[in-house]
């Protein structure tokens, strides 16, 4: 009887031990899983917090533009590639229309048309149209005009244009905009009887890149600066068979 009791005790002891060991292994596995999940979330958050910015500068003032690759990845990469060169000999502003006092009231949206327009003629190629989210132009948006390399900075909301433009950036501070010349100008009226203003003189500006602010994200900038890290032979955006959108995805995946 005593021997039977000892046997039962040993069976119960080892059962409890093995059960606790299994729980420990299972918990360790879950801890590892949660740590990996936490790491993935941190990496994703780091990607989302990366702001690539470019600067437009001229004697009339500066605009810091936060690029929006989530809205227009191909266009943003073209602009970033040009800004990385640090020189834009054919970049210029040639149209500046003020915001009229009664803008937006009773459906009035100009003239004048509340924008500062210019050229990014030195882009490697013409940007594609990108507005999958069907967004309307808001004050401070930087937009490419479809089928060309011309762009504008919106100085007021433009719901009247619908989703007809590629929005590739946002100006952080528009305070320099009134310092850019509004005149002398001449007007032009098209076949739809829309009258627009055009400056008599164009004004050159330069476009340069600004490093991402967080120090820990310098490696991301290096990826942008070193095309060979993208596992492609050459970052030549003038070649139509290379999709900048694909390259941007690879950049983000390497973060």
pLDDT digits (tens, 9 = 90+) for 4-28: 555 544 445 555 555 555 555 555 5
- Name the CATH superfamily for 53-208: Cyclophilin-like (2.40.100.10)
Measure the CA–CA gap between 149 and 206, rounded to whole angstroms: 15
Measure the CA–CA gap between 38 and 191, rounded to whole angstroms: 59
pLDDT at 51: 83
Q: What is the pLDDT of residues 132-157, one digit of tens each?
A: 999 999 999 999 999 999 999 999 99
Over the Cα atoms of the chain, what is R_g?
28
Contact between residue 125 and residue 77 where contact means Cβ atoms under 8 Å apart: no
* pLDDT over 90 percentage in the chain: 60
Give the strand order in the sheet containing 91-97.
Answer: 203-204, 91-97, 115-120, 150-154, 141-144, 166-171, 61-67, 53-58, 206-210
Phi/psi at 96 (5° precision): -145, 110
Write down the domain spans for the chain: 53-208
Measure the CA–CA gap between 32 and 104, rounded to whole angstroms: 56
Compare 241 and 129 and report the one with higher pLDDT.
129
Phi/psi at 5 (5° precision): -65, -40
Where are the alpha helices (H) located in the chain, listed in sequence order?
2-48, 73-85, 218-225, 244-253
pLDDT at 38: 63
User: Is the previous residue joined to 248 through a cis bond, with omega within 30 degrees of 0?
Assistant: no
Angle between helices 73-85 and 218-225 (to 10 degrees): 80
Q: Which helix (H) or strand (E) holds 209?
A: strand 206-210
Residues 6+ positions from 183 with CB-CB distance below 8 Å: 199, 200
Q: Considering the entire predicted model, what is its pTM?
A: 0.67
Mean pLDDT of 86-107: 96
């Amino acid at each position: 009887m005593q021997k039977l009791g000892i046997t039962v005790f040993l069976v119960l002891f080892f059962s409890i031990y093995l059960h606790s060991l299994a729980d420990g292994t299972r918990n360790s596995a879950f801890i590892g899983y949660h740590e990996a999940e936490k790491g993935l979330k941190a990496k994703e958050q780091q990607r989302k917090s990366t702001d690539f910015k470019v600067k437009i500068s001229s004697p009339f003032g500066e605009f810091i533009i936060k690029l929006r690759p989530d809205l227009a990845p191909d266009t943003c990469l073209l602009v970033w590639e040009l800004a990385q060169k640090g020189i834009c000999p054919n970049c210029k502003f040639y149209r500046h229309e003020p915001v009229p006092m009664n803008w937006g009231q009773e459906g009035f949206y100009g003239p004048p048309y509340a924008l500062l327009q210019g050229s990014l003629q030195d882009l490697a190629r013409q940007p594609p149209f990108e507005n999958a989210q069907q967004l309307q132009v808001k004050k401070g948006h930087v937009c490419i005009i479809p089928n060309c390399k011309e762009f504008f900075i919106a100085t007021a909301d433009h719901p009247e244009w619908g989703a007809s433009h590629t929005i590739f950036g946002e100006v952080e501070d528009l305070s320099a905009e009134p310092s850019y010349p509004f005149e002398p100008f001449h007007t032009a009226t098209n076949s739809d009887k829309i009258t627009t203003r055009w400056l008599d003189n164009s004004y050159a500006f330069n476009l340069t890149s600004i490093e991402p602010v967080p120090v820990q994200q310098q490696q991301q900038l290096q990826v942008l600066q070193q095309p060979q890290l993208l596992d492609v032979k050459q970052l030549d955006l003038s070649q139509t068979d290379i999709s900048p959108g694909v390259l941007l995805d690879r950049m983000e995946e390497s973060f």
